[in-house]
Amino acid sequence: MPLIPSFRRRGLTAVLLASLAGVGLLPAAAQAQTYPNKPIRLVVPFTPGGVTDTSGRLIAEALSKRLGQNVVVDNKPGASGNIGTQQVATAEPDGYTLLLAFDGTMVINPNVFEKVPFNTLQDFASIGKIGDAVLVLVSNPGFAPKTLREVIALSKTQAGGLSYGTSGTGGTPHIAGELLRQRTGANLVHVPYKGGGQAMIDVMGGNIPLVYTAIAGAVQHVKSGKLHAIAVSSTQRASSMPDVPTFIESGVADFEASSWVGLLAPARTPKPVLDKLNTELNAVLADPAIRARLNELGISPTPGTPEQFTELMRRDLARFGPVVKAANIKVQ
């Protein structure tokens, strides 16, 4: 029997490996060596154009270059992110369907919805966290209190409470506002909007005194003087608002309520594939140009391990549960 030249053997081996991977018969370690050999779908469970979607597209483009395959963003909005998230939970666990995970969907929705069509800790495998989207409490420049202590003190003199707007019931800013109320005894009243844009318009117009929102939507208005920033809810001052104190500096010990975004895959995705994606994601987050762009969006990059991301979700599920229950926040 004639011998097959070595270069042909290598070529036949590559074809065989690809074929076996396609039908799921290749061992996990070998799959990781050939992964990815086709485009990857990144499900963003929100409409195009928001900060979450924009950050997802930025990461998808950078990962495409590193992986040598297109990472295609697929927007699947609905039910506060639950619809698109469920699609990933039930997708084939092969590394070709990923989820742009948002804390509002993954750790708040399970606490505020009566039922969600996924289990955060059982239906997903962590790839890694992208970063923290810092929240900020802003006011109309004509609003008398300028510090958090002054806001809290004034609220306690108001019989009907002091109103603060957010992008909607059950969102991260709403939970952060309730956490502030519970921690300080401030007499704050939540005013939900159907989106952050209208809330910003109303606070700038003087129709509402305060708005709790992501930095990305407020920073330009603070810099132009149309809004006054009272405090940011990260543990350290935000790079885009270095002159604005944190809630901790303002007297609320251990107060942190930043939003976050990261990447997840369906549960049972092979660990070598997850590790490869984590390595490439962290390399993307180390790129100065990507870091600068994320900071412009109000997101502080936070590379780390899959295990750290899983532990964060576990912690936040438990942390926000009592806040939601005490405030009786429910979304139908």
Q: Which tokens go with 329?
A: 């926040």
Query: Residue range 237-242: average pLDDT?
Result: 88
Q: Looking at residue 239, what is its pLDDT?
A: 84
Query: Residue range 305-321: average pLDDT?
Result: 95
Decide if pLDDT at 268 tops 90: yes
Domain map (residue ranges) of the chain: 37-132+259-327, 135-232
Q: Looking at residue 135, what is its pLDDT?
A: 92
Q: Looking at residue 7, what is its pLDDT?
A: 44
| Residue 160: exposure state from Cβ atoms within 10 A (0-12, 13-18, ≥19) | exposed
Decide if pLDDT at 156 tops 70: yes
Are the C-beta atoms of residues 140 and 227 closer than 8 Å to each other?
yes
Written as one letter, the residue type at 109 is N
Neighbours of 49 (CB within 10 A): 10
Q: Looking at residue 27, what is its pLDDT?
A: 58
Helix (H/G/I), strand (E/B), else coil: 322: helix
Are the C-beta atoms of residues 213 and 194 closer than 8 Å to each other?
no
Averaged confidence pLDDT in the chain: 89
Q: Looking at residue 252, what is its pLDDT?
A: 94
Q: Looking at residue 277, what is its pLDDT?
A: 98
**CATH domain 37-132+259-327 topology:** D-Maltodextrin-Binding Protein; domain 2 (3.40.190)
Supply the pTM of this predicted model. 0.81
* Identical topology for domains 37-132+259-327 and 135-232: yes
Q: Looking at residue 16, what is its pLDDT?
A: 53
Are the C-beta atoms of residues 134 and 255 closer than 8 Å to each other?
no
Reported for 238-241, long-range contacts at CB under 8 A and 24+ positions apart, including other chains, are 238/134, 238/136, 238/298, 238/300, 239/295, 239/300, 240/215, 240/295, 240/296, 240/298, 241/136, 241/215
Q: Which of 153-157, 161-165, 218-222 has the lowest mean pLDDT?
A: 218-222
Q: Where does the pLDDT of residue 4 fall: very low under 50, low under 70, confident under 90, or very high at 90 and above?
A: very low
Kindly provide the residue ranges of all beta strands, DSSP E only, lying in the chain, ordered along the sequence: 40-44, 71-75, 97-102, 124-133, 135-139, 162-166, 188-192, 210-214, 228-232, 259-266, 299-301
Q: Which of 98-107, 124-133, 251-260 has the lowest mean pLDDT?
A: 251-260
Q: Where does the pLDDT of residue 1 fall: very low under 50, low under 70, confident under 90, or very high at 90 and above?
A: very low
Angle, nearest 10°, between helix axes 288-296 and 51-67? 170
In whole angstroms, what is the distance from residue 33 CA to residue 21 CA? 10
Query: Residue range 285-311: average pLDDT?
Result: 94
Q: Looking at residue 3, what is its pLDDT?
A: 47
In whole angstroms, what is the distance from residue 23 CA to residue 121 CA? 27
232 bridge partner residues: 136, 246
26-40 pLDDT, tens digit each:
555 566 678 999 999
**CATH domain 135-232 topology:** D-Maltodextrin-Binding Protein; domain 2 (3.40.190)
Decide if pLDDT at 55 tops 80: yes
Q: Looking at residue 312, what is its pLDDT?
A: 96
Tokens 């412009």, residue located: 296
Decide if pLDDT at 298 tops 90: no
Q: Looking at residue 196, what is its pLDDT?
A: 78
